[in-house]
Amino acid sequence: MELVTPKAHTRQTASELKKQVGTEVQVTGAVYRVRELSSNFCFIIIRTDRELIQCKLEGSEHRIDPRQYAEGNYITATGRCVEEKKSPHGFEISIQKIEVLSKPAAEMPFSINQRELNIGLDINLDARPISLRHPGQRAIFKIQAAIAELFGEALSDIGFTKIHTPKIVFAGAEGGANVFCLDYFGRKVFLAQSPQFYKQMMVGVFGRVYESGPVFRAEPHETARHLNEYTSMDFEMGPISSFTDIMEVETYCLRHILNRLPEICLTELELLKVTLPYIIEIPAIRFSDAIEIITKKHTITDRDDLDATSEQVLCKHVKQEIGSDFVFVTHYPTTKRPVYAMEDPNNPEVTLSFDLLYNGLEITTGGQRIHDYSMQVEKMKRRGLNPEDFESYLQIHKYGMPPHGGLGLGLERLTKQLLGLQSIKEACLFPRTMNRVTP
Amino acid sequence: MELVTPKAHTRQTASELKKQVGTEVQVTGAVYRVRELSSNFCFIIIRTDRELIQCKLEGSEHRIDPRQYAEGNYITATGRCVEEKKSPHGFEISIQKIEVLSKPAAEMPFSINQRELNIGLDINLDARPISLRHPGQRAIFKIQAAIAELFGEALSDIGFTKIHTPKIVFAGAEGGANVFCLDYFGRKVFLAQSPQFYKQMMVGVFGRVYESGPVFRAEPHETARHLNEYTSMDFEMGPISSFTDIMEVETYCLRHILNRLPEICLTELELLKVTLPYIIEIPAIRFSDAIEIITKKHTITDRDDLDATSEQVLCKHVKQEIGSDFVFVTHYPTTKRPVYAMEDPNNPEVTLSFDLLYNGLEITTGGQRIHDYSMQVEKMKRRGLNPEDFESYLQIHKYGMPPHGGLGLGLERLTKQLLGLQSIKEACLFPRTMNRVTP
């Protein structure tokens, strides 16, 4: 028997290589660009996991055939690391040896080695495995990865427990017809619209829980704001003293993400020329007050909901008035919120709920949930739902639940707004929309 | 407009409360047990997010009506923290005031406040929202949460990027009929059996990627080892110099998890009386050699695969011979591995692949993948697949991929084996099996 030992197999970053100026180093990656300056001198730029490393190949002892090391080849270059002020990282590698690890079968269908990726969104999405190799494209997802990790880090730090809840479910939690159905060994089941019921169940177990996972919405529209499958970053907590607790924890969490992002992906933030907002506090405005503000600038057809334009108008107003990119809208009408939403005891027409808008787009829906058994059963009946269909969910109310609540934060929407992207599809590795399930 | 400030709303743990002996403290949680010792003295044990806190209520000024604070009530108890050697945490709270936050509608259907949860597995799973409140049950998932977080931490530390790939897919990556189908706006699509194609695509982008997410297998059996939806912890990496790199990174990752677990959840490991294994290195044995060892003790019907008993026999042998709980089995027969598996250039009958067995159960499948375009297209054709159906996947091979590979590690299986559970259903919050989609 052989023995496998633990090894990290890490590769050196540009900043680590720079410390080795004067010594022989090795760089492995894809050939990003070959620039032939003469018959015996060329630059080869290597795309590593995160950076572009400038290498040069010179001298008659190296008969240069650029086709041999063309774009898309994976190579290991060995050579002396030399100081070079004109190179982006302040050094370059004078190649002594190249080992070709693999060769592509075809030339790139479009150019990924220019500053801008000059292709339309549909071509980009069709060729996602290739277009994502563009440094500007992949930077979006390095930042997104960091956001997702920081969301977990922030919550884990303050006593939240990570949970894994099923995506194949017996009932749609959010109501409505926008749910995908599937056959499960002869039974009709659904894809989870949210982890709602499960994270509530877990409040009874751990008090505070979070989950980042896929959710599915069968909404038949194709817009710049909607995906049919997206990553929902959810948390749920109890006991709470009021639904403000939930907004305070979200504010805490967002501030943590924004503060730590530059430590983790400064390279990518600079590449995309992103200026991050800074959170000290977030204003909160009642839904009914928001409607008053909006109607001064925009004609609303449904006074019980905010359409896309309403969200933009309100955010613009808040930005002008108090300089915040974020605004909580609270106390949404009861008719527009799901059956589990807690109504305001002072006015049952509205719920103890909120949305968080960021630069004109809703990125979070949250609120307090009903914890009392009779109240929940009655509300189900009023909505024409049969409590028996929710028997397993209602166990939490029946055997004791604290006042609790939580929220869902859309990872792609947050990414889109933070980076100022035009469409949410740009903020998703492999978007699923009404017309797209490939790649 | 009101302003919402960032607040963590953390609650005090037992060890923090202990430091406050002699002062007034507050504890919020569910009443776990009331023990009435006389008409004016009783113990109330409060179940907090993670612990059980002993409180006492005494004196004639508090007319005690235990029904008022019965099991399942959520309360906030305020009182003096006093040293008490006989209490599990070395202190107890002498209650001055109780605020009841919520009341259950019914008495518990079974007892969750005894050391053992004395109910059968089916009752446990039917009443999951309640049975998980048992300290021994929830300890399983505190440990599982830590495993999942540590998997990400280990990989993130060594340059892996977290990815989010779609679960609604155009093709099943693992082949076979065990895939759930669904209607997607009039199109037949599938639930992902693994993130295989997508994590390979992302190797071309970030080099090293990982994902923890749900995967779906429509396998029509009900066993102690199978779930129809489970959490797969995946990573994929390239360029690699050999498929041993992948096993070395997995060994690194498992060692990190096992070393750090006690720092994060010692309380739970002690509660469940778990002795963690210690990894220095992991033996690797070729599949063909494994078969020779197994046949000495067990009659094998299919010499191209390892059945459940074979895995157990092999692990027992390895444990006896060299004391390891883990063993890699390498070079599985090509016929038993998916179309993307790289064949051994020295013997195309076997693949550069492996399983990791832990105490008699396969917890990981991994290996090197084909990176060459022609090789992959040819293999698809040999298997009767139409390469045109995989056009978007084949972009990676066409436009250049490094030698690469990766693996999937089943979170529930790892949890089951680590904690010595009888069934994998005990290691899943809300298991999905052929006969179960509720709660």
> Are the beta carbons of A248 and B4 separated by less than 8 Å?
yes
Q: How far is A280 from chain B (nearest CA, A)?
A: 7
pLDDT band at B60 (very low <50, low <70, confident <90, very high): low
CATH of the structural domain B135-427, one choice from 3.30.930.10, 3.40.50.300, 1.20.120.1760, 3.30.300.130? 3.30.930.10
> Are the beta carbons of B1 and A284 separated by less than 8 Å?
yes
Chain B residues closer than 8 Å to A108 by CB: 399
Q: Which residues contact B342 (CB under 8 A, 6 or more apart)?
A: B243, B351, B352, B353, B367, B368, B369, B370, B371, B405
Measured CA to CA in angstroms, residue A93 lies from A37, A44, A50, B392 at distances of 16, 9, 17, 35
- Residue pair B234/B407 in contact by the 8 Å Cβ criterion: yes
> Are the beta carbons of B399 and A220 separated by less than 8 Å?
no
Question: Which of B399, B436, B438 to substitute to test the interface with A, most A CBs within 10 Å?
Answer: B399
> A18-22, A390-394, B60-64, B69-73: which has the minimum mean pLDDT?
B60-64
Is B226 annotated in a binding site? The answer is yes
> Are the beta carbons of A106 and B228 separated by less than 8 Å?
no
Q: What is the mean pLDDT of chain B?
A: 95
Taking CA atoms, what residue in A is nearest to B264? A156
pLDDT at B47 over 60: yes
Q: If DSSP states are collapsed to H, E and C, what string results for B140-185? A: HHHHHHHHHHHHHHHHHHCCCEECCCCCEECCCCCCCCCCCEEEEC
Residues B346-396 have pLDDT tens digits of 999 999 999 999 999 999 999 999 999 999 999 999 999 999 999 999 999
Residues A313-372 have pLDDT tens digits of 999 999 999 999 999 999 999 999 999 999 999 999 999 999 999 999 999 999 999 999
pLDDT at B175 over 80: no
Q: So what's the pLDDT on residue B419?
A: 98
Q: So what's the pLDDT on residue A173?
A: 76
Chain A residues closer than 8 Å to B169 by CB: 437
- Please state, in angstroms and rounded to a whole number, the distance separating the CA atoms of residues A55 and A91: 9
Is B352 annotated in a binding site? The answer is no
- Region B239-261: mean pLDDT is 98
Q: Which residues of chain A have pLDDT under 70?
A: 60-64, 66
Question: Which of B164, B209, B320 to substitute to test the interface with A, most A CBs within 10 Å?
Answer: B164
Chain A residues closer than 8 Å to B396 by CB: 129-130
- Residue pair B139/B427 in contact by the 8 Å Cβ criterion: no
The hierarchical CATH code for the domain A135-164+203-213+220-427 is 3.30.930.10
Nearest to A402 by CA among A348, A323, A347, A342: A342
- Please state, in angstroms and rounded to a whole number, the distance separating the CA atoms of residues B339 and B381: 10
Taking CA atoms, what residue in B is nearest to A207? B49
Chain A residues closer than 8 Å to B104 by CB: 373, 398-400
B391-398 and B196-206 helices cross at what angle (nearest 10)? 30
Fold of B14-102: OB fold (Dihydrolipoamide Acetyltransferase, E2P) (2.40.50)
Chain A residues closer than 8 Å to B433 by CB: none
Q: How far is B277 from chain A (nearest CA, A)?
A: 15
Length of chain A: 439
Residue from the list A4, A204, A399 with its beta carbon closest to the beta carbon of B106: A399
> Are the beta carbons of B104 and A145 separated by less than 8 Å?
no
Q: How far is B392 from chain A (nearest CA, A)?
A: 5
- Region B10-16: mean pLDDT is 94
> Are the beta carbons of A204 and B129 separated by less than 8 Å?
yes
Is A331 annotated in a binding site? The answer is no
Q: How far is A49 from chain B (nearest CA, A)?
A: 5
> Are the beta carbons of A395 and B129 separated by less than 8 Å?
yes
Q: So what's the pLDDT on residue B38?
A: 84
Residues A67-118 have pLDDT tens digits of 788 999 999 999 999 999 999 999 999 999 999 999 999 999 999 999 999 9
Is A23 annotated in a binding site? The answer is no
pLDDT at B76 over 60: yes
Q: How far is B198 from chain A (nearest CA, A)?
A: 8
- Residue pair A56/A91 in contact by the 8 Å Cβ criterion: no
Chain A residues closer than 8 Å to B103 by CB: 400
- Residue pair A117/A236 in contact by the 8 Å Cβ criterion: no
State whether ipTM is beyond 0.95. yes
Q: So what's the pLDDT on residue B1?
A: 85
What is the token pair recorded at B68? Answer: 């008022």
Q: B178: how many CB neighbours lie within 10 A of its CB?
A: 14
pLDDT greater at residue A105 or residue B177: A105
Chains A, B: CB pairs < 8 Å: 399
Q: What is the mean pLDDT of chain A?
A: 95
Taking CA atoms, what residue in A is nearest to B230? A166
Is B174 annotated in a binding site? The answer is yes
Chain A residues closer than 8 Å to B124 by CB: none
> Are the beta carbons of B181 and A185 separated by less than 8 Å?
no
> Are the beta carbons of A3 and B189 separated by less than 8 Å?
no
* Paired residues of B328 in beta bridges: B284, B356
Is B255 annotated in a binding site? The answer is no
- Region B202-218: mean pLDDT is 98
Residue from the list A229, A255, A435 with its beta carbon closest to the beta carbon of B6: A255
Question: Which of A368, A399, A413 to substitute to test the interface with B, most B CBs within 10 Å?
Answer: A399
> Are the beta carbons of B251 and A4 separated by less than 8 Å?
yes
pLDDT at B196 over 90: yes
- Please state, in angstroms and rounded to a whole number, the distance separating the CA atoms of residues A276 and A35: 35
Chain B residues closer than 8 Å to A166 by CB: 214, 229, 429-430, 432, 437
Chain B residues closer than 8 Å to A411 by CB: 164
Q: Which residues contact B37 (CB under 8 A, 6 or more apart)?
A: B43
Q: Is A149 strand, coil or helix? A: helix
Measured CA to CA in angstroms, residue B252 lies from A357, B166, B416 at distances of 42, 28, 20
Is A411 annotated in a binding site? The answer is yes
Q: In what order do the strands lie in the sheet with B187-191?
A: A168-169, A187-191, A181-184, B181-184, B187-191, B168-169
pLDDT band at B61 (very low <50, low <70, confident <90, very high): low
- Please state, in angstroms and rounded to a whole number, the distance separating the CA atoms of residues B342 and B353: 8
Q: So what's the pLDDT on residue A63?
A: 64
Q: So what's the pLDDT on residue B146?
A: 98
Taking CA atoms, what residue in A is nearest to B427? A164
- Region B262-278: mean pLDDT is 97
Phi/psi class of residue A18: alpha, beta or left (left: φ > 0; alpha: ψ in -120 to 50)? alpha
Measured CA to CA in angstroms, residue B126 lies from B121, B135, B221, B427, B439 at distances of 9, 18, 19, 15, 7
Residue from the list A191, A220, A281 with its beta carbon closest to the beta carbon of B5: A281
Same fold, B14-102 and B135-427: no
What is the token pair recorded at B151? Answer: 């998997």
Chain A residues closer than 8 Å to B126 by CB: 392
Q: What is the largest CA-CA distance in chain A?
A: 87
> Are the beta carbons of A245 and B161 separated by less than 8 Å?
no
The structural domains of chain A, with segments of one domain joined by +, span: 14-102, 135-164+203-213+220-427
Is B382 annotated in a binding site? The answer is no
Q: Is A38 strand, coil or helix? A: strand
pLDDT at B400 over 90: yes
